[in-house]
C-alpha cells in the first residue's frame, strides 16, 4: 500500500541520513546538467536496498511488488537551479505528474501532497487542469492566488468550483469559452492562450489548444465587449522541448498580443511561458529564454512558467521485480558484436505500460534499466559490458505491454532479481491503471537535503 501523507514524518526519519545533508541547501552550478547528486544516489539506494531485503526475507502476497523511491531533496535542488538560472520567472509547478485518487469523501493525492507541500513552503505556485488538482493544491497549503487554472476548455461545474475557492486566474483560447466564463465566473482574471510553434518538442499541444495570431485581436475585442478582465498571455511550446529557439518565436508572438491588448484598452501584467523544460537541456533553454523575456517585457510584467517535468523527473526511481523469464533462440545482432546469437531472454516484470511505463505510449520515452539485485547481491557495475540480449515485458496479458523489445544487460538474470529505472518522476504513475488487477507501484519518500526536510516538517 502506498504511504499516506500522515506517515511522511516517520518515513523521512526512517530513510534520511543527516550526515549526507548539505546544511546550506546549495547546489553546485559547475555541473553542465542537473543530474542526480551523489547524496541523492546514496539515500535512494539505501531505500531500495532496505525495501528489497525486507521483501526477500519476509515476502507475503504482493510483497515483491514494484515500487518508486521519491527523493524530495532532488526536487528541492531542481527548484534551486531554476531560481539561479531564471530568477525572474516564477515557477508554477506544471500539470501534476502523479496520480490523484478520488474517493467518496475527499480527494486524496498520492504522492502529490508532499511535492505540493514543498512548493508551497518555497512560495511557488501551481498550474492546475481540473477541480481535483485545485483541491489538491489548496489542501497542500498553496494560496488560491498562486493557482492558475490552465485548462483552456473547462467543465462548467469546475469553473463554478474555482469561483467558490477564489481561484481567479484561468486560461481561454476561443470565443465559446469566453461566453461560458462570463456566465459562470465574470470576475475571473483571464490569460489568453496563444498558439506557439511546438514543432521542436516531443509532445505537441498545438493541435488541441492555442489561439492563432489571426484571431487573437477578435478575441480580445470580444472580451472587452463582454466586460471580462484579460490580464495577460500564456503559451506552450510543447512538452519535452529539444530546441530552445522555439521560445524566441513564442516570446515575439506574446509581445504582439500584448500590443494588441493595449490598443484595445487592456493593461496586461502577466506572461505565462508554459512548460517544455527538461533536465538535460535546461541551461541551454535558460540562456535563451531569460534574455528574450527581458528584451520584450519590462520589469513590471510578472512572468511565470509551468516546469513540471523539470522539477520531478529525476527525483523518482522505479524498482521492478522479474516475476518470470522465458528463454528464446536469438538471431545474431550485427550491431552488437558481443551477442553470441545462441539465445536471448524475455523478462516479465511487475510494472508495465498499463502502469508506470505508460510514459512509453503517451510521453514517447524509452526507459532503459540497469541491474539492481542479482545473485543475492547489490554490487553490480553499471559500466559492465552489456552482452546478453533481452526484451522486457509488463505483467498484463496484453501483447502491447512491452517495455523494451530489445536491450542488452551484462548477464542473464533470474526470476526474483530486480531492475532499476531512473528518471521516472514525470508522466508515469499519474496515468497508471489497475488493468488486469495489477496494483500501481507503491511510493517510498526520502529526502537528501536537510533544508527541504525542515520545510516539510514545519
Nearest to 293 by CA among 245, 251, 233: 251
Residue 56 reports pLDDT greater than 70:
no
Give the pLDDT confidence score for residue 114 in this predicted structure. 80
> What's 27's domain CATH number?
2.40.37.10
Mark whether 251 and 359 lie in a shared domain. no
Q: Are residues 57 and 89 both part of a single domain? A: no
- Clarify whether residues 30 and 46 are in a common domain: yes
Domain containing residue 429: 5-71+313-456
Q: Are residues 226 and 361 in the same domain?
A: no
- Regarding whether 256 and 129 lie in a shared domain, the answer is yes
Express as a percent the part of the chain with pLDDT over 70: 84
Can you give 45-62 as a three-state secondary structure string? HHHHHHHHHHHHHHCCCC
3-state secondary structure of 182: helix
Residue 125 CA, distance from chain mean position: 15
Rounded CA-CA distance 417/64 in Å is 10
Q: Is 203 a catalytic residue?
A: no
Q: Of 55-59, 75-79, 208-212, where does mean pLDDT reach its minimum?
A: 55-59
User: Where is 179: in which H helix or E strand?
Assistant: helix 175-184
DSSP 121: H
Instruction: Give the pLDDT confidence of 311-348 residue by residue, as tens digits.
Output: 999 999 999 999 999 999 866 554 454 555 578 999 99
* Whether pLDDT at 358 is above 60: yes
Q: Domain check: are 77 and 58 in the same one?
A: no
Q: Give the pLDDT confidence score for residue 54 in this predicted structure.
A: 56
Which pTM was predicted?
Answer: 0.84
Grid cell for residue 406: 530489445
Burial of 176 (0-12, 13-18, 19+ CB in 10 A): exposed
pLDDT (average), residues 19-24: 30
- Do 144 and 56 share a structural domain? no
* Strand, helix or coil for residue 230: strand
Per-residue model confidence (pLDDT) at position 202 = 81
For 178-212, how does the pLDDT look when each residue is reduced to its tens digit (9 = 90+)?
999 999 999 999 999 999 988 888 888 878 999 99
User: Which is catalytic among the residues 165, 217, 359, 397?
Assistant: 397
Instruction: For residues 284 and 261, state if they share a domain.
Output: yes
Q: Torsions phi, psi of 320, nearest 5?
A: -125, 145
Amino acid at each position: 500500500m502506498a504511504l499516506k501523507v500522515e506517515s511522511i514524518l516517520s518515513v523521512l526519519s526512517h530513510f534520511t541520513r543527516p550526515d549526507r545533508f548539505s546544511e546550506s541547501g546549495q547546489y553546485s552550478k559547475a555541473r553542465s546538467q542537473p543530474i542526480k547528486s551523489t547524496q541523492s544516489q546514496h539515500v535512494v539506494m539505501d531505500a531500495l536496498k532496505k525495501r528489497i531485503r525486507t521483501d526477500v526475507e519476509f515476502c507475503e502476497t504482493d510483497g515483491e511488488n514494484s515500487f518508486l523511491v521519491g527523493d524530495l531533496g532532488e526536487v528541492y535542488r531542481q527548484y534551486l537551479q531554476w531560481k539561479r538560472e531564471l530568477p525572474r520567472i516564477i515557477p508554477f509547478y506544471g500539470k501534476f505528474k502523479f496520480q490523484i485518487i478520488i474517493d467518496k469523501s475527499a480527494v486524496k493525492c498520492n504522492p502529490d501532497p508532499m511535492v505540493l507541500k514543498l512548493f508551497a513552503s518555497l512560495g511557488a505556485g501551481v498550474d492546475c487542469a481540473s477541480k481535483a488538482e485545485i483541491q489538491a493544491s489548496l489542501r497542500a497549503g498553496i494560496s488560491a492566488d498562486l493557482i492558475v487554472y490552465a485548462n483552456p476548455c473547462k467543465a462548467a461545474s469546475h469553473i463554478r468550483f474555482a469561483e467558490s475557492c477564489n481561484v481567479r486566474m484561468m486560461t481561454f483560447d476561443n470565443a465559446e469559452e469566453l461566453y461560458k466564463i462570463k456566465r459562470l465566473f465574470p470576475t475571473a482574471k483571464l490569460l489568453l492562450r496563444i498558439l506557439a510553434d511546438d514543432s521542436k518538442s516531443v509532445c505537441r499541444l498545438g493541435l488541441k489548444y492555442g489561439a492563432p495570431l489571426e484571431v487573437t485581436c477578435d478575441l480580445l475585442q470580444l472580451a472587452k465587449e463582454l466586460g471580462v478582465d484579460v490580464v495577460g498571455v500564456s503559451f506552450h511550446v510543447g512538452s519535452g522541448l529539444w530546441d530552445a529557439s522555439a521560445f524566441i518565436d513564442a516570446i515575439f508572438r506574446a509581445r504582439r498580443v500584448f500590443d494588441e491588448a493595449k490598443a484595445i484598452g487592456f493593461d496586461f501584467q502577466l506572461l505565462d511561458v508554459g512548460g517544455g523544460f527538461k533536465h538535460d537541456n535546461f541551461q541551454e533553454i535558460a540562456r535563451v529564454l531569460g534574455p528574450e523575456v527581458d528584451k520584450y517585457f519590462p520589469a513590471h510584467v510578472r512572468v511565470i512558467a509551468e516546469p513540471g517535468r523539470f522539477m520531478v523527473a529525476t527525483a523518482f526511481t522505479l524498482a521492478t521485480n522479474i516475476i518470470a523469464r522465458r528463454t528464446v533462440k536469438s538471431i545474431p545482432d550485427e550491431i552488437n558484436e558481443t551477442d553470441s546469437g545462441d539465445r536471448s531472454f524475455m523478462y516479465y516484470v511487475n510494472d508495465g505500460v498499463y502502469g508506470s511505463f505508460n510514459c512509453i505510449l503517451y510521453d514517447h520515452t524509452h526507459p532503459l534499466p540497469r541491474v539492481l539485485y542479482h545473485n543475492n547481491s547489490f554490487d553490480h557495475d553499471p559500466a559492465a559490458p552489456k552482452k546478453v540480449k533481452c526484451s522486457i515485458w509488463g505483467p498484463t496479458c496484453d501483447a502491447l505491454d512491452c517495455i523494451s523489445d530489445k536491450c542488452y544487460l551484462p548477464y542473464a538474470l533470474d526470476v526474483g532479481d530486480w531492475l532499476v529505472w531512473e528518471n521516472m518522476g514525470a508522466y508515469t504513475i499519474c496515468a497508471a491503471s489497475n488493468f488486469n488487477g495489477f496494483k500501481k507501484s507503491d511510493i517510498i519518500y526520502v529526502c537528501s537535503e536537510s533544508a527541504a526536510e525542515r520545510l516539510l516538517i514545519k
